[in-house]
Structure 1
Amino acid sequence: MNSIGQTIKMGREMLNMTQEELAQKIRVGTLTIAKYEAGEQIPSNQTILKLSTVLDIPASELLQQNTTVNP
């Protein structure tokens, strides 16, 4: 199973989107996206809903993975 960070990165890359572009769309910093993808930070549930919309990934998939990420 992929981590939430891996899923975010794969979704972003499938849309040919940079970390900066994704950050602008969900209104967070570029460093925040990098931390999500590296597994260094876990997005809030509100941010997961934004990521779901922008990346066209079911929120339930991201939320399920959110509980399996190691801090």
Structure 2
Amino acid sequence: MVAIGHNIKMFRERAGISQEDLAFKIRVGTRTIQRYESGEQIPTMQTMLKISTALDVPASELIREVYYAAPSYLSEKSTDV
């Protein structure tokens, strides 16, 4: 899930927005943005939509790499069902 945080940081920096500005735009604390970007905390889907709006990026781009970063054992479990 660290990929989400990486993507948030990457798109935020591309947009030239500080953590403080992003926090203000989506109405959370700066520390929350720091937690999202470090992977300590995963934003809710509603928050992801707010972030995508604030950064003018499709939400799908923010979560895109999550599927590629998933551990291999997840795909193995799905075939056992």
TM-score with structure 1 setting the length? 0.82
2:56 equivalent in structure 1: 56
Q: Is 1:29 paired with 2:22?
A: no
Which structure: greater helix fraction?
2
Unpaired runs of 5+ in structure 2?
71-81
Could you list the structure 1 runs, at least 4 aligned residues long, displaced by more than 3 angstroms after superposition: 63-69
Question: Whose Rg is larger?
Answer: 2
Letter in 2 for 1:36: Y
Identity %: 57
Q: CA RMSD in A?
A: 2.3
CA shift for structure 1 position 59: 1.3
What is the total number of aligned residue pairs between the two structures? 69
CA 42–66 in structure 1, closer or farther in 2 if over 3 Å, else same: farther
